[in-house]
Each structure stands twice: as C-alpha cells, then as structure tokens.
Structure 1
C-alpha cells in the first residue's frame, strides 16, 4: 500500500477520534440510548417472528395460490344463508358498521357502534332518525334500495357494555316489507371450529372471511401469551404514545372478560359481524366481532401507523358468554326470543 494512502487513512482515523472525544456527555448518552433501542427492537422483532401464529405460507411458484385450502360446498351454502341476515348500519347517512338479525324483530351489534346516537341512559334511548340498517348490500356501488333499509325504535332493547353487545328493535317497514330472516342457532366456540365471518369490512359491500382460527385465554395461554407479550413490548417502544406515555396496545386481550382472538382481513366497519360455524348442516353463531388492535388514537388514524399484517390482532366475544349473562338478567325472556336454539 502506498505510503501516501496509509498517511491519509491514519489522518481520517485521528479526525474521527477527535470528533468522538469532543462529544458531550449528553450526546454520548443519547447515542447509547439510540443503540439500545435499535438492539431491543431487533430482539423483539425476532421474538415476534419466532412465535408468530399469523405468518402466511410462501408462494411456491409464480402461479401458486399460496395456502392450499378447499372446503365443502356446504360452507358456501351456509355463508349465503347468513348473508341474508347481515346488514350495514348507517349513521347520519354514512356507513359505519355491521349488525345482524336476531329474534322476532331485533338487530344485534356492538355498543360502541351506536354510541353517537344514544341520547338518554337508563333506559337507553337512541335518536332513531339518525340510524338505519341496510340489507343485501353485496356490490360496493349499487344504488340503495329503499325496501332493503329499515329503521329502529327509540328504546334500546338490551345493552351489555362488558361484552359490548346491544340489541335494537326494528320498526315496521313503511312499505310493509317483511324483516329479513334472523339467525336462530347459537353455540359455544371450540378450537376445532372453522369460523366464517360475514360482515362489511371497509364499510362497503358484504364480504366473508373463512377458516378463522380462534384462540382465547386462559385455555390457550401457552400458545398466545408469548406472542401477545412480545407485541405489547414492541408497541410500547414503536407505536404512538399518549401525552408522552408509552401505550401497551395488546395486553388487554388477555384480561377478563374472555376475548376470542384471531386474525382476519376484516377491518373498520366489521364491528358487529357474526362469526359462524357449521353444526347440524346449518349456521351456528359462536362469536361477534368487537374490533382489532393496535387501535387508533384520536389524533392518529390507524391507517397511518403502517403496522405489518402479522402485528394486527382482531377479537370478539363468545355468544355463549353473552347468552349466559343475558339469561341471568331481567331480560331473560328476550334471551329466549333471540337464542332460540343452542347447539
């Protein structure tokens, strides 16, 4: 190596050493903290990857369909039947969430869906001029059919904030159109169940997502705890804070009441969607979607978080838990009206 080049390299090294020595104690502290954060984030990412339940199978070749799943035609028949009972809830003329028909003339959905139209508590009363439900919306840009849109009675029939379950009473249609058919079969959720979700993700046309794998605490703690704990630590370091305070976006999934957690492409607008399985060759409702996490802070839309798909966790509540609580409430007769068949 030429002598001139050696001298130039030595000069550069000496310059870097002088720059390093001129760093203030505060700058050194900040640099060390930055390196520790990078190291911790890399460690958490490796933990997530090692325990991830949600990774997709890689495509085998250019024309591969990816995960190779096939199901009986019966599942298509069942979801088609369920779709007749599922509607898109509108508030102030805007699509908001999902609801489904139950009982004689009722709609079930999530409490938070109707929060903005509640005008009185105990008993709860809604502004029924601001809310409606539209059935059979299977095409995104289809023209609204007045015969598919139903209004509600002002008094809320039943509300359970613990399980986010609310029942609204439909009004008789002004054109005499009969109510869509209710879902009448319900049951306890099982790990072996193949869950089919039917709802309005994106607040648009009705969609379905099948082969959902349900997990819950404490029955599946060995499987899900490492995953949720790793996500919780990652979220505190990498996701938006609230008033400067780190937020754990995930640990609530393991806290009571029991939450059924799973992964689905269903997003905003899916709250209130039923999750059904097939029993005795007919649809059996086993859960209702409540939401997903990481949830949105008021000032930061969830779409701006740019969270990887495998870091998103959706959840809902078991219909069996909702039924047991409702059966032991003053609304026992309503529970019998809604939960007509337990499978």
Structure 2
C-alpha cells in the first residue's frame, strides 16, 4: 500500500512511496496485455484470459465484422503482445491471430470475447492469462495498463474510480458538467448524459485516451493482480471523436469510464444459455 505524503517544501519529492512488489506484479500483468490491429492499424487494447481467449471492447473490433453474424474477418485482425517501446521492432513470436468465430459479445457492456489461433511458429505459446477477478471496491486505487494512443504499452496508477449515486458529490459534479456542455458545444447537447445510462458506469480520471479501450484495471489483493474493470471510453464523446475541434475541453472536464468485471460476470453467469455460463467459468477462474 502507498505510504502517506509528507509535508510539501523545497526539494520535497512530492511522490508516494510504493512497495516493490506492486511494480513486479504490474510487470507480470503487462505480459497478458496486447495491442489489437485491424488492417495494420491500431484499434484498441485486449487482455488474455481463459485457455485461449482475449477480452476487449466490442467497438474495438466492430470494423472487422464480416457479413455473417458473430464472425470477424480474421485475416485482417491480430494482436501484438509486449509492445513496450514506441519504435519497437515487430517480433513475429509476439503476434497472434484470431479465429473467425467470436465467442461472445454484449452490446450494453461493449464487451467481446475472441479466441486466439495457434501460432504459425512452432513451439510459440500463448502469453499467460489473467486469472483473478474481484469486486469493485470504491474508493480504491486501480492500476490501468494498456495502449493509449495505439502505441507502446503504458500504465496509469493512482486512479480512484467512483460511481454516480443520488445526491453524492459525483452526481453533483456530472450535473455541473452536463449544464456546461449544453451551453458550450455548438449542438447544445448534454454530452455527459451517457454516464447516467445503464448499465452502471465506473467513472475515473486518467491520462489514458483513444486506443486504451479494452484495457484492464487491476488492484493488488492477496499479493495477486485482480481485474476489477475494463476501460470503455470517455465523456464528452464529441471531444474524443474530435467533432468540434474549435472547442477544447480541459482535463478536469473529461471523465473516463469503464465497466465493472463483477457486473459482466453476473450478466454471463445468470444467462439462460449454458454455453455462456460455461464460458464465464473459463474466464473468471478465481473470484475474490
């Protein structure tokens, strides 16, 4: 756990001490995270789970769907693991393709499960999966690891998610941003309204931006990394989509969000479809 910050004075470090174990655990997690490409262009982040599966946001692979439902044009899509440098040479042993059949999608949670294809190079194995998941505890420090900007892997720690509850400070904050949106943007729309729509959104501020969709958010529990959320996007959406380039949005008015893995787990495990329930048991191997 981080220690408390001392008094601020000249030459004060202005930083939080952290256990070395936390850094080691995040390095371990990074081996399971990859950058997804469509037609050679970065599209988003995904992470390894189960026997041969990748979790990501549905919108990350939306452009690769074929004419058949639940199938992607797998020739166009691949994932690159352990891209930790901006101008990193492509290691063919870190590139994996997908099967054409998409194992599971959920529109409301913007959630997709893809199946990896065996590597074309003999004796190259899948990266290790993330196997531990736990309930979203608010507030708690979450570590985001992914590919913001669609380039090398990055992390953002000191992320403290919150949720909107009736009359809490987050509710007030989002209401103020909604009023500002209606007055500020040319279309006079509330571009924060999506944050209140079901299913439940987990809100936070992060340095992550476009390309980080599908990134896992982990906490360290029992000396293990536990996935608690998946990054989805941010509001106001018009800013991230560059719809009004003449209307900048300062950092404090940007709100990123994701979905709690516990909510996705409950949706899958309560399904009337036995195949979906079996898939959930494969993905969510350990639940704390």
TM-score, with structure 1 as normaliser: 0.77
* 1:268 counterpart (210, 215, 221): 210
* CA distance in 2: counterparts of 1:303 and 1:74, whole angstroms: 43
Give the corresponding residue for 1:133: 79
Deviation at 1:184, TM superposition (A): 0.4
Deviation at 1:152, TM superposition (A): 0.3
Give the corresponding residue for 2:169: 223
* CA distance in 1: counterparts of 2:112 and 2:231, whole angstroms: 13
Aligned-CA RMSD value:
2.1
TM-score, with structure 2 as normaliser: 0.91
Contact 1:112 1:164 in 2 (8 A): yes
Contact 2:191 2:238 in 1 (8 A): no
> Which structure's residues are more often helix, by fraction?
1
* CA distance in 2: counterparts of 1:90 and 1:111, whole angstroms: 14
* CA distance in 1: counterparts of 2:45 and 2:83, whole angstroms: 11
Contact 2:131 2:285 in 1 (8 A): yes
Deviation at 1:109, TM superposition (A): 0.2
* CA distance in 1: counterparts of 2:18 and 2:68, whole angstroms: 46
* CA distance in 1: counterparts of 2:257 and 2:119, whole angstroms: 33
Give the corresponding residue for 1:165: 111
Aligned length: 279
Contact 1:294 1:302 in 2 (8 A): no
Moved more, 296-305 or 269-278: 296-305
Q: Which structure is larger by alpha-carbon Rg, 1 or 2?
A: 1
Instruction: Identify if the C-alpha distance between structure 1 residues 304 and 328 changes in structure 2 by more than 3 Å, giving closer, same or farther.
Output: farther
Give the corresponding residue for 2:5: none
Structure 1: runs of 5+ lacking an equivalent: 1-59
Structure 2: runs of 5+ lacking an equivalent: 1-7
Q: Deviations over 1:87-137 (max 9, x none)?
A: 000111011210000100000000111111111454x10000111000010
Give the corresponding residue for 1:44: none
Instruction: Identify if the C-alpha distance between structure 1 residues 254 and 166 changes in structure 2 by more than 3 Å, giving closer, same or farther.
Output: same
Instruction: Identify if the C-alpha distance between structure 1 residues 301 and 147 changes in structure 2 by more than 3 Å, giving closer, same or farther.
Output: farther
- 3-state SS, counterpart of residue 323 of structure 1: helix
Give the corresponding residue for 1:307: 249
Contact 2:74 2:99 in 1 (8 A): yes
Residues 1:332 and 2:287 aligned together: no
Deviation at 1:154, TM superposition (A): 0.3
* 2:185 counterpart (232, 239, 242): 239
Instruction: Identify if the C-alpha distance between structure 1 residues 174 and 304 changes in structure 2 by more than 3 Å, giving closer, same or farther.
Output: farther
Deviation at 1:64, TM superposition (A): 5.3
Instruction: Identify if the C-alpha distance between structure 1 residues 267 and 169 changes in structure 2 by more than 3 Å, giving closer, same or farther.
Output: same
Alignment of 1:150-189 (within 5 A): 150-176=96-122, 177-189=124-136
* 2:237 counterpart (295, 301, 307): 295
Q: Deviations over 1:283-319 (max 9, x none)?
A: 0000000001111379845765421010110000000
* CA distance in 2: counterparts of 1:65 and 1:158, whole angstroms: 47
Contact 2:239 2:248 in 1 (8 A): no
- 3-state SS, counterpart of residue 296 of structure 1: helix
Instruction: Identify if the C-alpha distance between structure 1 residues 327 and 295 changes in structure 2 by more than 3 Å, giving closer, same or farther.
Output: same
- 3-state SS, counterpart of residue 66 of structure 2: strand
Give the corresponding residue for 1:286: 228
Q: Deviations over 1:186-212 (max 9, x none)?
A: 111001421000000111100001111
Q: Deviations over 1:245-288 (max 9, x none)?
A: x2111122122110000000000100000000011100000000
Residues 1:319 and 2:261 aligned together: yes
Instruction: Identify if the C-alpha distance between structure 1 residues 298 and 270 changes in structure 2 by more than 3 Å, giving closer, same or farther.
Output: closer
* 2:191 counterpart (249, 254, 269): 249
* 1:69 counterpart (8, 11, 16): 16
